[in-house]
Structure 1
Amino acid sequence: MTSLEYDVVVIGAGPVGENVADRVVRGGLTAAIVERELVGGECSYWACMPTKALLRSASALRAARQLPGAREAVTGNLDAAAVLGRRDSFASHWRDDGQVSWLESAGIALHRGQGRIASARVVEVTGVDGVTTRLTARHAVVVATGSSALLPDIPGLRAAAPWSSREAASAGSVPRRLAIIGGGVVATEMATAFAALGSSVEVLARDGVLPSAEPFASELVTESLREAGVSVRLGVEAASVNRDDRGIVHIATVDGERVEADEVLVAIGRTPNTQDIGLDRVGLVPGAWLAVDDTLRVVGGGGWLYAAGDVNRRVLLTHQGKYQARAVGDAIVARAKGEKVEDGRWGRHAATADERAVPQVVFSDPEIASVGLTAAAAETAGLRIRVVDYDLGTVAGASLQADGYKGHARMVVDEDRKVVVGFTLAGPDVAELIHAATIAIVGEVPLDRLWHAVPAYPTVSEVWLRLLETYGR
């Protein structure tokens, strides 16, 4: 068995693991990264990038059809093959040569295979050839293995070969009929994408559409999906699934109804990729989420084990995982150099933005962009709040963007501190507006100061002025 030593060993070469390794190398340490699949991870090949590529062409077509002059120039429908081809290019045709080259240029060692913790600070990597390499970390081991789609225990589901988000994002053709079990972000985005590509889509949303979002966002997306021809069935739960000899999927619902489809996508949540990484060898539970402190050090992990990204279940979003990666990388470097590591709320090495300042965009039609707390979450947190709503379609910049622009904005204000703690936008192309709200929330900018942040006219950002006017002094 070959044995090698590094300062830090990272298990998982997705965007989180890559950023951890890069951060520690920039800090003067050596790093090795272990990956059993493609370097670049879920986001690069089966999530963020390919799914947004699937959605963008339809979004551009919708925008053109909402403008006189452009509308008349548009003929025909989407070219599904061209859309899938563009998607393939954004997934690098499921090859990781470019990502591997980047690791090499960054001075990060790559070990391909299944990584398992063997003992304190020791990771054994079993390659596809069966050969095992032992990696010893002088300072830290970081688990950045991400998560996978959760498959519920519905009778017959696994035997029916369902799609997860991976199969949906990498589909080689457009199914004539697609059934989706779930109503969250993946379900909503894929219903939007495949309906635009020509599928007859049926959504079984037991808990509703985007149940964690502000209610108005859920209502707008549900309405839009139905206008696009999607059958959205709220409160409906699948009881059993069967794929017959012809390949047709049959879904029986709890209330006794039947749904037929050519493919079924299951999008009800995620499960951590910690089943086979050796957690039991260090007293932790295989298959469990990993609890961490604000420097991302694993609780019960001996002080040398860290977890960043999906596996710690703080926020299952790529950008938050990369934020955590920067924090944990800095913390490891500081501890290795004997520097003081700030664990407090505003400490440089602490990942505190995961608490109440998480931005997220759902690339549905309309887009939903949000950051911070919803009104319901703020009340649950015990805050004394005021909710300020505004019709986004009446803002001058929005009316110029599209005829019949339909959207809504909500600002949630902490009345005791007079700061914004939540912000949600629903409407075409609102994704690019959310960072201003993120800065306002993270910076705890008082409303009296926000009055002096004058939005340009005529832009959709003028909604900030309208919300402040509605709030009053």
Structure 2
Amino acid sequence: MGNNTETSTYDVVVIGGGPVGENAADYAIRGSDRTAVIIEHELVGGECSYWACMPSKGLLGPGAALAAAHALPGARERQSAPLPEPSAVLERRDTITGARDDTSQVDWARGAGIEVIRGHGRIVGEREVSVGDRRIHAREAVVVATGSTASIPPVAGLREALPWTSRDATNLVDIPQRIVVLGGGVVACEAATWLLDLGVREVTMVVRGHRLLPKNEPFVGEMVAEALTERGADIRFGTQFDSVHRPEVADTGYGHLHGGPAQVTLSGSGEVLEVDEILVAAGRAPATTDLGLGSIGAEESGPLRTDDHMIVPGHPWLYAVGDANGRVALTHMGKYQARVAGDVIAARAEGRNLDSPRYSAFADHSAVPQVVFTRPEVAVVGLTEQQARDSGIDVTVADMDLAVAGTYLLDPGYSGHAKLVIDRTRDVVVGATFVGAGTAELVHSATVAVVGEVTLDRLWHAVPSYPTVSEIWLRLLESLR
């Protein structure tokens, strides 16, 4: 560092200003005189606010609302069109993301006593971070909350074609007539859903495996695939891109077509798809490659592994939360980890012990909830049946179609399915999966049951309100009597 280097000291230095970093900083200093700073090279509010959860659900909402109305006689007759109005959907999306203006997020941080520094943070030594010519010292902790970036597979011509990633799909401005989606996970399935809602004529999904959403129970992918196919998606299982050729390429910015038509050759068959755009939804990698981790003897790339206090072993001052640690790539779980990390930092700063469960992120291991906002919705928590068996659990299951009075009242033709995975030895639920409209609001009750290790005998007394979709809990429990 040169002689003109400006040095600042804070109790807590957070690299990454998404919701995960914000939570870590807030919990570490709230109600104290400790100081914190967030270093962010893009937008405060992070991926979730501008490029992921918020805009994606915003894009999916109008189509879901129309589908719900279409299911009910009386509402259906008042519908003037089967699909949402694209310009209004995109305008609402821009309202949700604040047109990628993070002023309000910065104002929140500063109102919470957290300073914000614009720039790329890099670790340069123990408790030391650089941002340009500034050097920042952390008295208590450095927290890495840098998130992840979209992965582009090493396919000939793919990177050169400047394909869309999730950031483009959620911030789309130009609506392509023909698009190929590489991948069969959450981003691919949700994007295919809203692209069909927006009137894309040809949506082709190229999936290396043989089912969608493969980390879930098998019926999940089957039901989502069936629904997407019925709406016009062409799903190609068991194949991948062999090569991509795009003669005219243009870096036109998020959500604009990145050039002229592209030719995508599929492996095996050699079939060539001509499309207006390519969406790569083939996974994400921790954003740790330019973080200076080598300066402390850590790997320069890949996940920054932690213990359940979110501390990087061997570096008691260093924490990693969210996608950067490779544990669970979900915003709500990253925020959970950040709350744990913030509480641990505060407890250690005040000389308190870490015996309480609140200082340990144990939910990461067996109680992770997730909702996929496809149609039908997918809501899951904990272990699948196969995962439970692989863990050596003595498993029994409750498995049935989701058909109760509450579902009929939502849609006379309602289609859904539910499954509980039970540890027979302990008589507790270790996993739950619900597929169907309105199931997103079921998953938290299942999460409470899994985390609380509530026995089935006790769950019998959690009486579901009638007539709601949650009555499926009663039917599942009855099947186990």
User: How far is the alpha carbon of 1:211 from its aligned partner?
Assistant: 0.6
| 1:80 aligned partner | 86
Shift of 1:286: 1.6
**How far apart are 1:244 and its partner, in Å?**
2.5
For 1:424, what is the secondary structure of its paired residue?
strand
Partner of residue 323 from structure 2, selected from 310, 315, 325: 310
Shift of 1:326: 0.6
Moved more, 329-338 or 156-165: 329-338
Q: Which residue of 1 aligns with 2:36?
A: 31
Write the mapping of 1:44-193 to structure 2, written as runs, cut at 5 A. 44-76=49-81, 77-126=83-132, 132-193=133-194
Give the C-alpha shift of residue 27 in structure 1: 4.8
Match of 2:283 among 260, 269, 288: 269
Tell me, in whole angstroms, the C-alpha distance in 2 between the residues paired with 1:112 and 1:465: 52
| Structure 1 Cα separation of the partners of residues 394 and 199 of structure 2 | 47
Partner of 1:205: 207
- 1:218 matched to 2:224: no
Q: Is residue 421 of structure 1 aligned with residue 421 of structure 2? A: no
Letter of the aligned partner of 2:66 in structure 1? L
Runs of 4+ with deviation above 2 angstroms = none
Q: Residue 9 of structure 2 aligns to which amino acid in structure 1? A: E
Q: Which amino acid aligns with 1:261?
A: V
Q: Which moved more, 1:234-243 or 1:43-52?
A: 234-243
Contact 2:322 2:328 in 1 (8 A): yes
User: Residue in 2 aligned with 1:258?
Assistant: 272
Alignment correspondent of 1:41: 46
In structure 2, which of residues 392, 397, 400 is the aligned counterpart of residue 387 of structure 1? 397
CA distance in 2 between counterparts of 1:297 and 1:157 reads 38
8 Å contact from structure 2 (residues 175, 198) kept in 1: yes
Deviations 1:41-90, CA, capped at 9 Å, x for gaps? 00000000000000000000111111111111001232101101101111
CA contact (8 A) 1:27 1:333 kept: no
Q: Deviations over 1:153-209 (max 9, x none)?
A: 011001101011011111112111110000000000000010111112000011221
- The 1-side partners of 2:237 and 2:215 are apart by 15
Distance 1:138 1:400 in 2: 58
Q: Distance in 1 between matches of 2:340 and 2:84?
A: 43
Residue 399 (structure 1) shift: 0.3
Contact kept in structure 2, 1:45 and 1:91, CA below 8 Å: yes
Match of 1:248 among 240, 253, 261: 261
Out of 448, 460, 464, which is 2:469 matched to? 460
Secondary structure of 1:284's counterpart equals coil
Quote the sequence identity (%). Answer: 53
Q: For residues 422 and 19 of structure 1, what CA distance do their matches in structure 2 show?
A: 27
After superposing the two structures, state which structure 1 stretch, 81-90 or 243-252, moved more: 243-252
Kindly report which structure 2 residues correspond to 1:352-363, keeping only aligned pairs within 5 A, or say none: 352-363=362-373
- Give the TM-score of the pair, scaled to structure 1: 0.96
Equivalence for 2:303: 289
Give the C-alpha shift of residue 336 in structure 1: 1.3
Q: Distance in 2 between matches of 1:265 and 1:324?
A: 30
CA–CA distance in 2 between the matches of 1:250 and 1:212? 30
Aligned to 1:129: none
SS in 2 for 1:315: coil
Are the counterparts in 2 of residues 27 and 330 from structure 1 also a CA contact under 8 Å?
A: no
Question: d(CA) in 2 for partners of 1:87 and 1:174?
Answer: 14
Alignment equivalent of 2:24, drawn from 11, 20, 41: 20
Matched, 1:372 2:382: yes
Letter in 2 for 1:291: R
C-alpha distance in 2, partners of 1:374/1:204?
25
Alpha-carbon separation, structure 2, partners of 1:456 and 1:348: 31
Task: In structure 1, give the amino acid aligned to 2:246.
Answer: R
Give the secondary structure class of the aligned counterpart of 1:5: strand
2:225 alignment partner AA: T
Q: State the alpha-carbon separation in 1 of the partners of residues 76 and 458 from structure 2.
A: 42
Task: Within 5 Å, give how 1:428-467 maps onto structure 2.
Answer: 428-467=437-476
Given that 2:322 and 2:337 are in contact with CA atoms closer than 8 Å, whether structure 1 keeps it comes out as yes
Q: Distance in 2 between matches of 1:257 and 1:377?
A: 36
**Structure 1, gaps ≥5 residues long:** 127-131
- Please give the secondary structure, in 2, of the residue aligned with 1:422: strand
| Counterpart-to-counterpart distance in 2, 1:232 and 1:455 | 38
Q: CA deviation at 1:403?
A: 2.0
Q: SS at 1:174's partner residue?
A: coil
Q: Conserved in 2, the CA contact under 8 Å of 1:147 and 1:311?
A: yes
Normalising by structure 2, report the TM-score: 0.95
Gaps of 5+ in 2: 249-258
- Tell me if the contact between 2:438 and 2:469 (Cα under 8 Å) persists in the aligned partners: no
Q: Are the counterparts in 2 of residues 399 and 405 from structure 1 also a CA contact under 8 Å?
A: yes
Root-mean-square deviation (CA, aligned residues, Å) is 1.0
Q: Map Cα deviations across residues 441-470 of structure 1 (whole Å, 9 max, x no partner).
A: 000000000000111111110000000001
What's the CA shift for 1:429?
Answer: 1.7
Cα displacement string for residues 285-315 of structure 1 (whole angstroms, at most 9, x for unaligned residues)? 1222111001000123x21111001111111
